[in-house]
Chain A
């Protein structure tokens, strides 16, 4: 068994492109869910907003790719307002219902035949990222070249994606960390604890919840932009419910209401995924049978990995509910 290969995969996924755009999405989700207590189950829709924002520029609108950043943000703000206006005055669960439904609506609209000319249907959009990749080349990263050392050897294109992605993680991490140290962040955390108390102290709770939803959504849209630019295409089915819940899993794993948790959580999510996947593939090189009964074969591995991850998440919730970086003392005051 090649345990070195398993560990190498694990480490590379820990710092890989998947972990990085998940981390951006989780930072945004943390603003909504972790700090403000808004149950946003539609982060995938905000990511789609960003991804289609950059995707549409060159291919549909015929304008420079860089406008895509603005368009993506605008889409995310619009989506946030659309979800927030009817639900933020109501109890928290209504937002959860509306966001999960909105995310599905967004996905079904962008993949529909009807809007093929706007969003590219099930094929999605591609061929828009050359301007972005060009910047990397201008900085001396040859797409086919090899850079790095030891196991950390990347093609120029991958390295460029990782540099941009992790820079965004750092920027948004710092912004959110700083905001949460400010009086604004204090209001959000207080809203998470008790809206009415905050209202009685003269804060416009509705407005703060809207700000948190939109800000978290805009950060999420950058995760979508990163995904689109990194893959150089936009696929509608990337933005399914799975994406939202994987991001959420990563966040919970790291620890909610902690900026470090929202960054390291998704990294661990992908590391654990890669570890289990590679390990099982090493172990199950041929079907394992008990008599006539096939216990596991290589085609099952994809599902089994998620089963094991689910089990790990349950164990985490039982033995360390605050996540890896969460504050245990805070958890002690659950249920006022």
Chain B
């Protein structure tokens, strides 16, 4: 665990570290200011100047999409005029089920093609780019339904993530001398990530032997093997217990501290409020609101479309 600290700026990776105690208190009473890392302060300062309105322009966007429209038959799943993600920020994408969040993810990552619209990543147009090229450009995604490769050991799952492997050409595969050195390097990187995500004890196990939460961690760790600049997480907290959620939170924050941009879809409003610098709300395929987490939780349109009138009250209160 001691090496966790030097891997992320805040040391926030270890849920048992003192920093987390502060977090837990902050999350519990919702008012006390949380200890923020420098990168969070930078991201929030940059976003403080952005008007909280749908399609707002960001000072330094890494992902810019405009006029993205995708319909399945007569149903328009996604119709987004403008969508920008600030570099170095953690941006949450929320919205009711069927709002088109995952479809939008698929469109951005090349897994689906929009009917109309253009988008660029890091200043490069991404229209028509095949999904497998996205990772090489620094955009990586995870999936709502975790895709751990169950019949591969955890370490093999990780090593698969590395890009530009010489040994992945079949004619090189026969000559281990050509790729052994690179493989060792990849393995070292994979081991480091496994330690960070506390999966090192499962190194040799089949991924299928992992629990649901561990698979989420594995998928995220594997995505990081591609050395991404933008990490897109589709419901990283779905089906994860509260304790593991805390540690996932830290991992996501750790990504920003390492200089990555994070865009994630999530229904867990505590997490959204806790870690995101900016929130974009979709409903019925469109962006209906944008803003800081505080802007969003007080936005009547969002409460109406997504949070519901009971937001902020626990369900138990209703029963008593």
Contact = CB atoms under 8 A, between A and B. Distances in A.
Interface of A: 175, 178-179, 181-187, 189-190, 192-194, 196-205, 211, 215, 329-330, 332-333, 336
B140 A200 contact: yes
Contacts of A183: 159, 165-168, 173, 179, 183
B111 A196 contact: yes
A186 B130 CA distance: 21
Contact of B160 (A178, A196, A198): A198
A190 B206 CA distance: 12
A244 B242 CA distance: 52
A187 B169 CA distance: 10
Nearest to B205: A329
A336 B219 CA distance: 14
Most chain A CB within 10 A, of B135, B176, B208, is at: B208
B174 A201 contact: no
A184 B167 contact: yes
Contact of B136 (A186, A202, A205): A202
B216 to A, nearest CB: 13
Nearest to A189: B152
Given A179-B174, A201-B223, A204-B130, A333 B109 contact: no
A193 B173 contact: no
12 contacts: A182-B172, A183-B179, A190-B152, A193-B149, A194-B147, A197-B143, A197-B147, A198-B160, A201-B222, A203-B168, A205-B132, A329-B206
Interface in B58-84: none
Given A200-B109, A200-B223, A186 B160 contact: yes
Nearest to A196: B147
A187 B135 CA distance: 15
B179 to A, nearest CB: 6
Nearest to A211: B170
B173 A184 contact: yes
B284 interface: no
Contacts of A336: 148, 150, 208
B151 A330 contact: yes
Given A197-B143, A204-B130, A182 B167 contact: yes
Contacts of A193: 149-152
A333 B167 contact: no
A200 B148 CA distance: 12
Interface of B: 109, 111, 130-136, 140-143, 147-152, 156-157, 159-161, 163, 165-170, 172-174, 176, 179, 183, 206-209, 219, 222-223, 225-226
Contacts of A203: 132, 160, 168
A200 B174 contact: no
Most chain B CB within 10 A, of A179, A184, A196, A211, is at: A184
Given A200-B135, A202-B136, A202-B226, A186 B152 contact: yes
B174 A333 contact: no
Contacts of B151: 189, 192-193, 330, 333
B149 to A, nearest CB: 4
B183 to A, nearest CB: 7
B143 A200 contact: yes
Contacts of B176: 178, 181-182
Given A201-B226, A203-B168, A205-B132, A179 B163 contact: no
Given A182-B172, A204-B132, A333 B160 contact: no
Nearest to B166: A183
Q: Can you list the 5 inter-chain pairs with the closest CB atoms, starting with the nearest?
A: A202-B135, A333-B208, A182-B173, A183-B167, A197-B147
A101 B142 CA distance: 37
A186 B156 CA distance: 7
A333 B206 contact: yes
A204 B206 CA distance: 24
A200 B131 contact: yes
Most chain B CB within 10 A, of A187, A201, A215, A329, is at: A201
B149 A179 contact: no
A182 B136 contact: no
Contacts of A175: 174
Contact of B140 (A194, A201, A215): A201
Most chain B CB within 10 A, of A187, A190, A200, is at: A200
Contacts of B219: 197
A184 B168 contact: yes
A256 to B, nearest CB: 11
Nearest to B136: A202
Contacts of B163: 201-202
